[in-house]
A and B are shown apart, each in its own frame.
Chain A
Amino acid sequence: MPGADPTLARAELESKLADIRSRMVAYGIFPSPLGRILIARSELGVSMVRYIDSDDAARSHIARLAGDEVVEDTTTLEPVYRELLDYLNARGTRLSWPLDLRWAKSEFQRRVLAATSDLPYGAVASYGGIAKRVGAPESVRAVAQALRHNPLPIVIPCHRVIGSTGDLTGYAGTRIGLKEQLLTLEGVPVSGGGHRVDRNHMYAWAGPDREYCVPSCGGLSEMPLAKLTLFGSRRHAEAVGLSPCSSCRPDLHPLPA
């Protein structure tokens, strides 16, 4: 007799809830040292971080993105927010969340974001360097575009990617000041009115060995930035397992602080 046995109804309900759960996005809007930020997550992981100027603009933005499966839920976002706050207050260097790249626009962008994720704390690379890493060394502009539309700023550290001349270039639209703040937080020296990283003041890693150098070592100063990862401090280079170059000995001849 239809409907008398709730078992089938229960099974259909579970299926429907699983479907909703997979599409559901929970978000919270929080204060931070960089202004108000929106953090959103799905059941798979954190899916969006956004700097926002007004809460209403943020809500309509996310409603447009996720349709009617959007729920404001600051409670479950709270632990994510706490970690982000620790990071922004220089109390932590890692953001250890599972990520959901559902709002990445293309496979190419996903590859760019993955390569960018590998950049260590306190280090910078160039757009050309990222293009090399994803096997598309000519696609520098496309890399810049991909990072411009990074759905997870801070978490996926597009702030650590700079122009080939050391210029910070763009960030989250017009928010280049935030890029400078994040780099400064990580100990990357920014000069030129806040718009340049000077490679002459940074340790460099060219690979393929695991040694980092002072900028004057060997032929480093002639190498294009695309081949290098630059570190603001010895500490951060050594934190990812690099050791001082046996030739230029940055441990004996460190750069002036």
Chain B
Amino acid sequence: MVRDMTEDPFEAIVATHHAEIHRYLVRATSRPGDADDLSQETFVRAYKAYRALPPDANVRAWLFTIATNLSRNHFRSEGRRRQAMAVVAVGASEHSPTWPEGEAIANQASARIDRLVATLPFKQRVAFTMRKVHELDYDAIGQSLDCSAESARAHVFQALRKIRQGLDDFDVVQTER
């Protein structure tokens, strides 16, 4: 007996992962409007390719890879880096995405961190986000960035250093007022 022609396991993949990938892309692109387009493109590509995945594939890591590739290509082709810096400089704190509710960080501090993350180079920004927000392991991050787990670790380390430096600078400015 032929099974129902309309059942589609991909619906479960969308239900499970869409919100998280969308959140990731909001940070990866620094522009929330782009996240809508890129998350749609991520899942459209995944839909066309998921049948070829092996049964034990890490679907979540695979989706992050697709999303990262799309955001990197988007970033390069549209030259958004300067624009992102300009957005940050104009004091875009009211447009910054907030951190997940579970984290106990004050709004002001989190907005500050967001601004700093948005100024990081692409690889550090996405590596940091994948590690600290989405808790992917370094193998998965490396897969997304097409580099080794060690390189992924280094990107996160560099990102942390710059963020801490940025926070220190802010504090120094505050105390000198």
Residues of A bordering B, CB below 8 Å? 1-4, 6, 8-10, 12-14, 16-17, 20-21, 41-45, 71, 73, 75-76, 79-80, 83, 96-98
Return the contact of A6 from the options B22, B33, B47 (Cβ within 8 A).
Answer: B22
Bits for B4-37, please: 1 = Cβ < 8 Å to A, else 0: 0110101000100011001100100001111110
State the total of A-B contacts with C-beta under 8 angstroms: 71
Of B38-46, B112-120, B122-130, the one contacting chain A is B38-46
B177 beta carbon closer than 8 Å to chain A: no
Q: Which of chain B's residues has its CB closest to A26's CB?
A: B51
B40 contacts A12, C-beta separation under 8 Å: yes
Partner of B5, one of A4, A44, A83: A44
Known interface pairs A71-B48, A73-B51; A17-B43 also in contact (CB < 8 Å): yes
Whether B26 and A4, one on each chain, are in contact in the complex, defined by CB atoms closer than 8 angstroms, is yes
**Measured between alpha carbons, how far is A1 from B95 in the docked complex, in Å?**
7
B residues sitting closer than 8 Å to A (CB atoms) are 1-3, 5-6, 8, 10, 14, 18-19, 22-23, 26, 31-36, 39-40, 43-44, 47-48, 51, 95, 97
In the complex, A4 Cα to B3 Cα: how many Å?
39
Task: Check if B51 sits within 8 Å of A4, measured CB to CB.
Answer: no
User: Given A79-B2, A98-B5, is A13 in contact with B97 using a C-beta cutoff of 8 Å?
Assistant: no
Check B5–A43 contact: CB distance below 8 A: yes
CB within 8 Å for A9 and B6 given contacts A1-B95, A3-B26: no
- A3 lies within 8 A of B31 (CB): yes
* Nearest 7 pairs of A and B residues by beta carbon: A3-B32, A6-B22, A9-B36, A3-B35, A2-B33, A79-B2, A3-B33
Complex CA–CA separation, A41 to B33 (angstroms): 36
Q: Say yes or no: A17 contacts B22, CB within 8 Å.
A: no
State the CA gap A73–B51 with chains docked (Å): 7
* Known contacts A3-B26, A4-B26: A9-B2 contact under CB 8 Å: no
A8-B33 Cα distance, complex, nearest whole Å: 11
The answer to whether A71 touches B14 (Cβ under 8 A) is no
Q: Give me 17 A-to-B residue pairs in the complex whose CB atoms sit less than 8 angstroms apart, sorted by A's number.
A: A1-B95, A6-B18, A6-B23, A6-B39, A9-B22, A10-B14, A13-B18, A13-B40, A14-B14, A16-B40, A17-B44, A20-B44, A43-B5, A43-B6, A45-B5, A83-B2, A98-B5
Contacts of A9 on B, CB cut-off 8 Å?
18, 22, 35-36, 39-40
Complex contacts, B95 vs chain A, CB 8 Å: 1
